[in-house]
């Protein structure tokens, strides 16, 4: 009986192809929108999670809070204090620096190119690995001697010098008012997808290069931030609590006087915000399913009116009220389900296309697809009940007289 009803439903849909497609359109748009938005939200959350893993999910920034009124010079961090922190906490700290960077113009012959110079220590490669193409990385001697050595990103080197292998070349730049020659000792490359390039790439089209962290603290040798990467596998909350209490004690302050920003906190905030945004927009998109359901009800009412004589013939031949109702419910459910399947293909296709453009992997949860298919079927059944009920209750004598 079910197969017979399905065959009749497909025959009715085929007889009115354009009308059936336009009826499905609301469901197609609704399901496609819901799957796209939910999947885009999940994909973006994964991309941000991967981004934080790439930049270091164990890192934290510590400084005296902006709310502290009695700020003093001793609140800043000196080189020996940073070294003492590394000694006290040992292997629990993977890396530490002052998070200093400076924008300045590099000059080579007649070529001028703006750079962002990031101050690093010699083991920055441990937490932010890059592929060294030419030359070498900065070492401890470069840092301690404050040598004017530079490790430059390969595209930046080609932009400034016209060649990738610029090891041994020099350029002039101004740091803290002093214009001096800097020597390129290494060229690196860091692979990034389109999203990472957008979020982490050089701002404003500037070049990227590493220089000794000690150079960027020359005016007063003070550091505003203490930038720490904790070792993997630690209880970060407990570790950073101990670190904060130690620093507060060394500075003669209360832990509440310091501001600590951790990558984990930032990641959780972004994840929560993305989840709320995806749910809200997904809910709005789901309204189109309601509109699609109303469209199904409307077209099924038209279909019942057009097929009044058919209903009368079937009833006169012995069809029960339930048979007629199931026939029209099957038709509305199939229209909705077909729209849902097309909507799924549309939604998955759009998300997959976007992931290819950003060079990442789309997150499409099977549960979302199953929910979408089930929901589209329920919409079809729910909005098909009234037309089916109207068809089933038709008087066979009146139906046979209908022209």
CA distance 36 to 286: 11
Asked if residue 157 has pLDDT above 80, the reply is yes
| More confident: 91 or 302 | 91
Final residue belonging to a domain, choices 244, 262, 280 = 262
Asked if residue 144 has pLDDT above 70, the reply is yes
Q: Are residues 6 and 128 in the same domain?
A: no
At 106 the pLDDT is 95
Q: Are residues 137 and 251 in the same domain?
A: yes
Q: What is the mean pLDDT of residues 361-388?
A: 73
The pLDDT confidence band at residue 396, using thresholds 50, 70 and 90, is low
| More confident: 35 or 194 | 35
Q: Are residues 79 and 100 in the same domain?
A: yes
pLDDT per residue as tens digits for the range 46-81: 777 777 777 778 888 998 888 888 887 778 888 788
Q: Are residues 116 and 234 in the same domain?
A: yes
372 within some domain: yes
Asked if residue 317 has pLDDT above 70, the reply is no
Q: Are residues 73 and 146 in the same domain?
A: yes
| More confident: 20 or 346 | 346
Final residue belonging to a domain, choices 262, 297, 324 = 262
Q: Are residues 173 and 33 in the same domain?
A: no
- Give the domain extent around 43: 2-51+268-401
188 within some domain: yes
Please give, one letter per residue, the 3-state secondary structure of the chain: CHHHHHHHHHHHHHHCHHHHHHHHHHHHHHHHHHHHHHHHHHHHHHHHHHHHHHHCCCEEEEEECCCCCCCCHHHCECHHHHHHHHHHHHHHEEEEECCCEEEEEEEECCEEEEEEEEEECCCHHHHCCCEEEEECCCCHHHHHCCCCEEEEEHHHHHHHHCCCCCCCCEEEEEECCEEEEEEEEEEEECCCCHHHHHHHCCHHHCEEEEEEHHHHHCCCCCECCEEEEECCCCCHHHHHHHHHHHHHHHHCCCHHHEEEEEHHHHHHHHHHHHHHHHHHHHHHHHHHHHHHHHHHHHHHHHHHHHCHHHHHHHHHCCCCHHHHHHHHHHHHHHHHHHHHHHHHHHHHHHHHHHHHHHCCCCCCCHHHHHHHHHHHHHHHHHHHHHHHHHHHCCCHHHHHHCC
251 within some domain: yes
136 within some domain: yes
Final residue belonging to a domain, choices 262, 282, 308 = 262
Q: Are residues 354 and 229 in the same domain?
A: no
Q: Are residues 143 and 197 in the same domain?
A: yes
Q: Are residues 118 and 244 in the same domain?
A: yes
Please, are residues 386 and 296 in contact by the beta-carbon 8 Å criterion? no
At 401 the pLDDT is 54
56 within some domain: no
Domain count, the chain: 2
Q: Are residues 244 and 388 in the same domain?
A: no
Q: Are residues 144 and 250 in the same domain?
A: yes
Q: Are residues 252 and 111 in the same domain?
A: yes
307 within some domain: yes
356 within some domain: yes
20 within some domain: yes
CA distance 58 to 232: 7
Q: What is the mean pLDDT of residues 255-272?
A: 84
Q: What is the mean pLDDT of residues 98-116?
A: 91
The pLDDT confidence band at residue 163, using thresholds 50, 70 and 90, is very high
At 348 the pLDDT is 86
Nearest to 64 by CA among 256, 246, 350: 256
């Amino acid at each position: 009986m079910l197969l017979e009803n399905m065959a009749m439903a497909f025959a009715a849909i085929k007889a009115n192809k354009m009308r059936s497609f336009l009826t499905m359109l609301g469901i197609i748009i609704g399901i496609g929108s819901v799957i796209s938005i939910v999947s885009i939200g999940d994909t973006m959350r994964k991309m941000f999670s991967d981004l934080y893993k790439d930049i270091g999910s164990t890192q934290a920034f510590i400084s005296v809070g902006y709310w502290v009124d009695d700020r003093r010079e001793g609140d800043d961090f000196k080189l020996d204090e940073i070294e003492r922190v590394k000694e006290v906490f040992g292997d629990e700290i993977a890396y530490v620096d002052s998070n200093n960077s400076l924008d300045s113009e590099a000059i080579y012959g007649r070529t001028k190119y703006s750079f962002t110079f990031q101050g690093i220590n010699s083991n920055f490669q441990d937490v932010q690995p890059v592929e060294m193409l030419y030359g070498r990385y900065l070492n401890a001697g470069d840092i301690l001697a404050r040598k004017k050595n530079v490790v430059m990103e390969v595209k930046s080197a080609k932009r400034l010098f016209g060649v990738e292998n610029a090891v041994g070349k020099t350029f002039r730049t101004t740091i803290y008012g002093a214009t001096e020659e800097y020597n390129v000792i290494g060229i690196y490359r860091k692979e990034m997808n389109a999203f990472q390039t957008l979020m982490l790439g050089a701002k404003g089209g500037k070049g990227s290069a590493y220089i000794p962290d000690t150079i960027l603290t020359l005016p007063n040798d003070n550091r505003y931030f203490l930038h720490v990467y904790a070792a993997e596998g630690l209880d970060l909350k407990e570790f950073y609590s101990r670190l904060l209490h130690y620093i507060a004690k060394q500075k003669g302050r209360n832990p509440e006087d310091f501001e600590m920003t951790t990558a984990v906190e930032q990641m959780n905030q972004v994840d929560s915000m993305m989840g709320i945004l995806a749910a809200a927009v997904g809910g709005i998109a789901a309204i189109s399913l309601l509109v699609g359901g109303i469209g199904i009800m409307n077209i099924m009412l038209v279909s019942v009116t057009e097929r009044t004589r058919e209903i009368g013939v079937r009833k006169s031949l012995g069809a029960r009220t339930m048979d007629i109702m199931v026939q029209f419910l099957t038709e509305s459910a199939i229209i909705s389900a077909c729209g849902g399947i097309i909507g799924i293909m549309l939604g998955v296709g759009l998300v997959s296309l976007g992931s290819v453009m950003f060079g990442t992997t789309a997150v499409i949860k099977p549960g979302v697809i199953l929910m979408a298919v089930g929901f589209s079927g329920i919409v079809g059944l729910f909005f098909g009940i009234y037309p089916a009920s109207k068809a089933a209750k038709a008087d066979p004598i009146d139906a046979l007289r209908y022209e």
